[in-house]
Amino acid sequence: NLASELFVIFDISQPNTLKPIDGYVTTTNKVEFLFSDIGHYISRDLEYYIEIDSSLNFTSPLISSGKLIPSGTFVEWETPNLSSGVYFWRARIFDGSNFGDWSKVSSFSIMGSNINGYYAHDKILKTFKTYNINYSEETKSLSLNTELLPPRVSEKTFIEDIFIDPQLADTLTLSALTTDGTYLYFGYLSFLEQQNGGDGKSRIYRVGTGNNGTTKGEFYGPFTQFYDKINNTLVYHSDGFIYIPTGNPYQITRINISSGQIDTVAVTAGLLTWDSSRPLIDGGVYLGSNGEYIYNLTIADTLGNEKYTIRTFDPANNWSLVRPDLVLYGGTVRGFAGFYVHEDYIYTVEALSHNTTRMHRLSDGFFVEEWRPIFDFQSYYAWSWDWVNDEIYASTFSSFA
């Protein structure tokens, strides 16, 4: 027997825009908006909202339509008088309980002459997805970038594999990694060590980078008498210390790399646990340094939303907070393994597939881009930037860095 049925599926997450088209140009001072009302077809009373601004951020929109009610199968609205210039707009739906997503930001221009079709000029050029191209405020145009780009780990920038000699025993892993430019320092993460039946503690070991008289890849054995928990990370900072979270969120262990002295320092604000953004006893902590500050990254905010959150510490000022915690734009990546920082950028990395990397600005959390850097996938797990030699190291669990 055969049977068939026709199903019509409507998406009410965003309005169905009929006009204006994106890039619309008009000589009149008013612009007409027309939406097809999805609610008419599914017997739901929907409300529509439009915002218009002269900038792309919509922090304080020039015009807000307020609640728009459909008439029949359409929603119609006309703007107040607008002066000549470039405008951006977005719209969304309210279904009586929840707001839908804002539509993609579109543009229109009011000019002295009509132009048919899509017309991009002036600030509209900022909406283009570009690579190595900049928008000039002076000329209102796009031009090829001539400055150095932020680092972008890829096959093109790959330097080499460093194989450790002698090869590490299976009981040693490179699951925590940092560098001072001379040595790679590594240890075994506490939760992994416990999963393998241990006490959750680890030594810290050294491998030569080939710089400052060391032999590249040579295993130099344990560094100091440190034997404690390594709760998700260890990090070298420009003050000459390696910092290790060992379970107390209001205190961090440090090792002076010159003298080998081990002590602790208070962290009054508290180190944030990676999956809750709260200071918790024995919580896993992810730290990274760009030589200026130490950054504490989490993958969820205090409400459980999957948002990267950064706490910024200044070790030179008693580990005080540099600024309020910053939430990065966008969500978290599945299979998060770690992160590294390079000057004003933070890079989050996953270890399940291709080490997919996301780049954000540290200054404001702006999402820059996402890419797959390594196509011969090695599941690189721990990452560290050597700001002395401007190189980025990544390690697998055991055999090489």
Per-residue pLDDT tens over the stretch 229-278: 999 999 999 999 999 999 999 999 999 999 999 999 999 999 999 999 99
Both tokens assigned to 303: 């409400």
Preceding omega of 20 cis (within 30 degrees of 0): yes
**Distance of alpha carbon 180 from alpha carbon 204, whole angstroms:** 14
Q: State the average pLDDT over residues 45-51.
A: 96
pLDDT band at 401 (very low <50, low <70, confident <90, very high): very low
pLDDT at 348: 95
pLDDT at 236: 98
pLDDT at 94: 94
Per-residue model confidence as pLDDT tens digits over 17-26: 999 999 999 9
- Is 317 in a helix, a strand, or coil? helix
Cα-only R_g, the chain = 27
pLDDT beyond 70 at 399? no
Instruction: Give the pairing type, strands 24-26 and 106-110.
Output: parallel
Q: State the average pLDDT over residues 3-9.
A: 72
pLDDT beyond 80 at 375? no
Element holding 94 (H helix, E strand): strand 85-94
pLDDT at 171: 67
Per-residue model confidence as pLDDT tens digits over 89-143: 999 999 988 898 899 999 999 999 988 888 999 999 988 888 788 888 889 999 9
Q: Which of 392, 389, 397 is nearest to 346 (CA)?
A: 392
Q: State the average pLDDT over residues 151-180.
A: 84
pLDDT at 266: 98
pLDDT band at 397 (very low <50, low <70, confident <90, very high): low
pLDDT band at 377 (very low <50, low <70, confident <90, very high): low
Per-residue model confidence as pLDDT tens digits over 287-342: 999 999 999 999 998 888 899 999 999 999 999 999 999 999 988 877 888 999 99
Per the rule left: phi > 0, alpha: psi between -120 and 50, beta: everything else, 224 is left
Both tokens assigned to 12: 């009410």
pTM as predicted: 0.68
**Distance of alpha carbon 38 from alpha carbon 25, whole angstroms:** 27
pLDDT at 309: 95
Per-residue model confidence as pLDDT tens digits over 181-219: 999 999 988 888 888 788 889 999 999 999 999 999 999
Per-residue model confidence as pLDDT tens digits over 53-103: 999 989 899 999 999 999 989 999 999 999 999 999 999 999 988 898 899
pLDDT beyond 50 at 400? no
Element holding 191 (H helix, E strand): helix 190-195
Q: Which residues are CB-neighbours of 40 under 8 A, at least 6 positions away? A: 70, 72, 73
Q: Which of 257, 238, 167, 244 is nearest to 203 (CA)?
A: 244
**Distance of alpha carbon 359 from alpha carbon 348, whole angstroms:** 7
CB-CB neighbours of 254 under 10 Å:
18
Residue ranges of domains in the chain, CATH in brackets: 16-129 (2.60.40.10), 176-395 (2.120.10)
